[in-house]
Amino acid sequence: MPPAAPRSGDAIFASVERVNAELFTLTYGAIVRQLLTDLEEVEEVNKQLDQMGYNIGIRLIDEFLAKSNVSRCVDFKETAEMIAKVGFKMFLGVTASVMNWDADGTCCSIVLEDNPLVDFVELPDTCQGLYYCNILSGVIRGALEMVSGNEDGSHLDS
Amino acid sequence: MDTNDSLRVASLWHSMHAISQQLSPTTGCSGIELLEADTFDLHCFQSLTGTKFFVVCEPGTQHMEALLKVVYELYTDYVLKNPFYEMEMPIRCELFDINLTQAVQKDRVALLGR
């Protein structure tokens, strides 16, 4: 039987059940607020968000692979494109762009124009240094670790 | 087949799969996909994360790859999305078992036409 062709992020996003975006934004906001109350240190909250994201990522990767039918990426550039175009589209409904590649192609930025996590959010001065979307970098770190094992995490600037 | 037997078969298969990958004379081999014996066939599917799904069936059964794909999707839904399931542990998720039985049953009906 010939292998199934990879599906686009749009097609998969359209085929799964979706939830109200505002509920999602509110839920995430509640999590971050609660973490700030419990842990008080902004660095601790960043670490916790990253860890939560990691736990999500290690499970999410199999769903991504099952639904999208992609084959193994040949290099990191392809991996980054896959995450930005298919991954983010499939799970958040938004497309990200990959930019700021460094000289040896080992480091890049994934930029989200429209991030559902941060709708209506304004960081106060007391939370300087908080990586509000750090859960996303944890998710990517966890997911990549399951398929290759040696990625270095980084933070996302909101 | 009880839990201990399942674990025994699974760990045996995991080792054989890994050894076959090393021994294979062809480059880029990702392990055993089909084992044909006198009394059974064993089809195996390996995801890019290294998780292997295998099904033991009557010799000559068709479309087992499609069934394995369905099982993979059931795994990503009912097992991985269960927050109380610990990774790498034996799967004790009732919803997964129910849906798995249904999928196998549907497959059997489709193949046998009854």
In whole angstroms, how far apart are CA B14 and each of A25, A40, A58?
A: 42, 45, 20
* Subunit contact B80:A1, Cβ cutoff 8 A: no
* Subunit contact A67:B73, Cβ cutoff 8 A: yes
Predicted local distance difference test score (pLDDT) of residue B114:
46
* Subunit contact A65:B87, Cβ cutoff 8 A: no
Give yes or no for a contact between A145 and A151, defined as CB atoms under 8 angstroms apart.
yes
Predicted local distance difference test score (pLDDT) of residue A2:
54
pTM of the model: 0.85
* Subunit contact A65:B47, Cβ cutoff 8 A: yes
Residues on A contacting B at a C-beta cutoff of 8 Å? 1, 4, 58-63, 65-67, 71-72, 146-147
Closest Cα in chain A, distance from residue B24 (Å): 20
| Nearest CB to A147 within list B48, B63, B76 | B48
pLDDT confidence bin for A46, thresholds 50/70/90: very high
Instruction: Give B46 or A148, the one with higher predicted confidence.
Output: B46
In chain B, whose CA is at the least distance from the CA of A68? B73
Predicted local distance difference test score (pLDDT) of residue A73:
84
CA atoms within 13 A on the CB side of A3: 9
Residue spans per domain, chain B: 33-113
Render A93-158 in DSSP notation, one character per residue. S--EEEE---TTSS--EEEESS-GGGTT----GGGTT--TTHHHHHHHHHHHHHHTS-PPP-----
Closest Cα in chain B, distance from residue A119 (Å): 26
pLDDT at A156 > cutoff 60: no
pLDDT at A151 > cutoff 60: no
pLDDT at A157 > cutoff 60: no
For residues A143-148, average pLDDT: 87
User: Average model confidence (pLDDT) for chain A?
Assistant: 86
Domains delineated in chain A:
20-148 (3.30.1380.20)
Instruction: Give B25 or A158, the one with higher predicted confidence.
Output: B25
Give residue-wise pLDDT tens across range A47-103: 999 999 999 999 999 999 999 888 888 888 888 888 888 999 999 988 888 888 888
* Subunit contact A1:B81, Cβ cutoff 8 A: no
CATH entry 3.30.830.10 includes domain B33-113: no
In chain B, whose CA is at the least distance from the CA of A149? B49
Number of H helices, E strands in chain B: 3, 3
Tokens representing B95 are 């919803």
In chain B, whose CA is at the least distance from the CA of A71? B48
Q: Number of CB pairs < 8 Å for A and B?
A: 39
Predicted local distance difference test score (pLDDT) of residue A47:
93
